[in-house]
Structure 1
Amino acid sequence: MAASPSRPVLATSVGALGVATSGLFVALSATSPGTASFFRCILALPLLAPLALAERASGGRISPVQTAWAATAGALFAADALLWTQAIYEVGVGLSAVLVNAQVVMVPLLAVVIDRETLSRRFLVILPVIVAGTFLTGGVFETGATGSSPVAGTVHAVLAALCYSGFLFLLRRGGPDRPLVQSYSIIMASAAVFAAVVGSMWGGFDAAPGWGPLGWLALTAVCGQVLGWLLVAVGSPRLRVEVGSALLLLTPVGALLLGAVALGEVPSALQILGCALVLGSAYLVTASSRREPGPDGGWRRQKKTAAHPERFC
């Protein structure tokens, strides 16, 4: 029996909302970028290990090529986390979040250039609305440039967006049939090592941040890394590239709502309008671009990529 086309949409949507908790928990931990990035990844591994072992025992073994690409994706994820956390202090939360979510443009462009996928006409029409909604949600038009170093923060946020886009592209490019949990475990292990090494050289790294900060980072690992990104890894390869990118815009919307509830950061009228635009646009893109189940019960790619017979990540 073919799987319902709504399931990968639901998985990616719930995953994006899980990822939205990461910003709040990292902020509450009050740790350095290197410390936060390391512990949010390393604390996820004990939860992923039993699932990875069960997956391997059932016959799903990850290949050396898949392992290498997963490690690359992990390095990109760590670089994004490090740069994004640094940018928050330099340019402000709103503008850094907007710049990082340029992935909604970058990831589909990567798919077009590398995998020769085509984008739906509706996505191209709605894209300006998505961008406008993201800017409004971030509060850019109200706060302007904030933080201690706006220029440096903008550079760090743009670099974070590039790393984030590369990570998302590799994450979805692995396809729905790869050994998912083993691949994701390698991503987390690679990200933890990269964050510790780079963090110790840039921004500082604290191997013993204390029980309070460690508790917030453990919540980040559970909600963001295990439940959040694992669900995104399950759902996004089964969706058109623009659908997955649009659904991930639920992350800044969710972060804004969490800030209002947990930190008393009540969104402005323009931010609420931005949320409405993002949610409405994500729904329209998703509704127009769901894949039909193929004859094997899987999901059709818009265009098969013979140049990449072995999927990875």
Structure 2
Amino acid sequence: MTTSASPRTSTAVRRQVDPRLLAVAGSLCIALSPILIALSGASPGTATVFRCLLALPVLVPMALLERRRLRPVAGEMPAGRPWLVVVGGLLLGLDMTLWTGAIHAVGAGVSTVLVNVQVVILPLLAFLVLGERVRLSFLLAVPVMLGGVALASGLAGGGGGAADPVTGTVLALLAAFAYAGYLLFLRLGSAPGQRSGPVTLATAAAAVSSFVLGSLWEGVDLTPGWTAIGWLALLALIGQCMGWVLIAGGMAKLPSSTGASILLLQPVGAVLLGMLVLGQFPTVWQLIGCAVVIAAVAFAARTRAEPAPADASSS
């Protein structure tokens, strides 16, 4: 008797939480990621490998609890395609490693703006792979977005305090393509109702691909020091576990236009936090470029009709 009442109560409590608040909280968690990466001082491969490995002890129990929760509802586990999730996870490892390199090169805020170009890349991939319709408004937003990317990269007015704005821009855009691929494969491979399970599997696969890429790039330091491990553990908890699960839980219940708009809090928050915490002040042109990118992505995301799960699993 007590056992049957308890799940109903917890379900009722979950339903009372506004999904927009969950998505906003998740976006703000992810906005902290580039700050924590920069504070760790770790190389791209090192930061990504530890981010994934330190997140798994939290994600695995969440996945097991989700498995137990879904089994009584369906009578058996809903069918998915785990190999597609693994492919997506390998792309996620590439995304996070390249993005970390972009953070070092162009700064936390600008790199986060650029990597969120995935919100526009994803519809193009969905069109090529799934045959989903691409609206005229999407095509109109692309040249505006590319102009904003050029400004944000520091091509006008210098790169500000960025170490290498052009290289950072290239890395961030490559990361955006990998990120969009991750979202697409996660969407194709996840079963209905699954959130933590696919994220856990993708995180394990990301640890593998980030180790390979990091080893070939700047190396992976398996003993980065306790200070770096502390920042990376905080990154794993806030950016990898809390952020992704909150966003997945909130955006699954939101229209895609609302959810995609909320995701744009990530680059805005990262730019502001980069200025406040790290003293990374972009030039006026870079700030204008960031604003243009955000506006173009918001326009494209607001007008396209995508299922929520494609955006729900984002970084």
For normalisation by structure 1, the TM-score amounts to 0.74
Shift of 1:37: 0.1
Q: How big is the alpha-carbon RMSD for the aligned residues of Structure 1 and Structure 2?
A: 3.9
- Code of the residue aligned with 1:43 in structure 2: it is L
Residue of structure 1 equivalent to 2:241: 226
Aligned pair partner of 1:157 in 162, 165, 172: 172
Asked if 2 retains the 8 angstrom alpha-carbon contact of 1:108 and 1:242, the reply is no
How far apart, CA to CA, are the structure 1 residues paired with 2:152 and 2:105? 19
- Code of the residue aligned with 1:27 in structure 2: it is A
Shift of 1:11: 3.8
Aligned pair partner of 1:264 in 279, 302, 305: 279
Asked if 2 retains the 8 angstrom alpha-carbon contact of 1:20 and 1:252, the reply is yes
Aligned pair partner of 2:26 in 11, 15, 19: 15
How far apart, CA to CA, are the structure 1 residues paired with 2:109 and 2:83? 34
Shift of 1:120: 5.1
Aligned pair partner of 2:225 in 190, 210, 214: 210
**Gap change, CA 1:300 and 1:17, over 3 Å in 2:** closer
SS of match in other structure, 2:156: helix
How far apart, CA to CA, are the structure 2 residues paired with 1:139 and 1:238? 38
Residue of structure 1 equivalent to 2:39: 28
SS of match in other structure, 1:31: coil
Kindly indicate whether residue 186 of structure 2 is the aligned counterpart of residue 171 of structure 1: yes
Residue of structure 1 equivalent to 2:59: 48
- Code of the residue aligned with 2:157 in structure 1: it is E
**Gap change, CA 1:128 and 1:156, over 3 Å in 2:** closer
**Gap change, CA 1:252 and 1:174, over 3 Å in 2:** same
SS of match in other structure, 2:157: helix
Quick check: which one's helix share is greater? Answer: 2
- Code of the residue aligned with 1:263 in structure 2: it is L
How far apart, CA to CA, are the structure 2 residues paired with 1:87 and 1:244? 25
**Gap change, CA 1:114 and 1:140, over 3 Å in 2:** same
- Code of the residue aligned with 1:206 in structure 2: it is D
What does the per-residue CA deviation read over 1:180-235, in whole Å, with 9 as the maximum and x for residues that have no partner?
Answer: 21111111111112222332333111222222111111111111111112233334
Asked if 1 retains the 8 angstrom alpha-carbon contact of 2:36 and 2:234, the reply is yes
What does the per-residue CA deviation read over 1:150-186, in whole Å, with 9 as the maximum and x for residues that have no partner?
Answer: 6655543333222112112223445682422111111
SS of match in other structure, 1:58: helix
Aligned residues: 291
Note the 1:93-132 alignment, pairs <5 A.
96-97=111-112, 99-119=114-134
Shift of 1:127: 5.4
**Gap change, CA 1:225 and 1:30, over 3 Å in 2:** same
Asked if 1 retains the 8 angstrom alpha-carbon contact of 2:34 and 2:112, the reply is no
How far apart, CA to CA, are the structure 2 residues paired with 1:43 and 1:16? 20
How far apart, CA to CA, are the structure 2 residues paired with 1:175 and 1:120? 26
Shift of 1:70: 1.5
How far apart, CA to CA, are the structure 1 residues paired with 2:176 and 2:300? 22
Residue of structure 1 equivalent to 2:50: 39
What does the per-residue CA deviation read over 1:223-275, in whole Å, with 9 as the maximum and x for residues that have no partner?
Answer: 11111122333345566666655543332211101112212335655566566
Kindly indicate whether residue 159 of structure 2 is the aligned counterpart of residue 141 of structure 1: no
SS of match in other structure, 1:185: helix
Residue of structure 1 equivalent to 2:81: 66
Asked if 2 retains the 8 angstrom alpha-carbon contact of 1:77 and 1:191, the reply is yes
How far apart, CA to CA, are the structure 1 residues paired with 2:18 and 2:304? 14
What does the per-residue CA deviation read over 1:19-52, in whole Å, with 9 as the maximum and x for residues that have no partner?
Answer: 1111000000001111100111111112222221
- Code of the residue aligned with 2:192 in structure 1: it is D
Larger mean Cα displacement after TM superposition, 214-223 or 7-16: 7-16
Aligned pair partner of 1:250 in 265, 281, 285: 265
SS of match in other structure, 1:141: coil
Aligned pair partner of 1:187 in 188, 191, 202: 202
Asked if 2 retains the 8 angstrom alpha-carbon contact of 1:176 and 1:234, the reply is no
What does the per-residue CA deviation read over 1:68-124, in whole Å, with 9 as the maximum and x for residues that have no partner?
Answer: 112111111111111222244456667644543331321111122222323455555
Shift of 1:16: 2.6
How far apart, CA to CA, are the structure 2 residues paired with 1:104 and 1:41? 23
Residue of structure 1 equivalent to 2:6: none
Which structure 2 segments of 5+ residues have no match? 1-13, 310-315
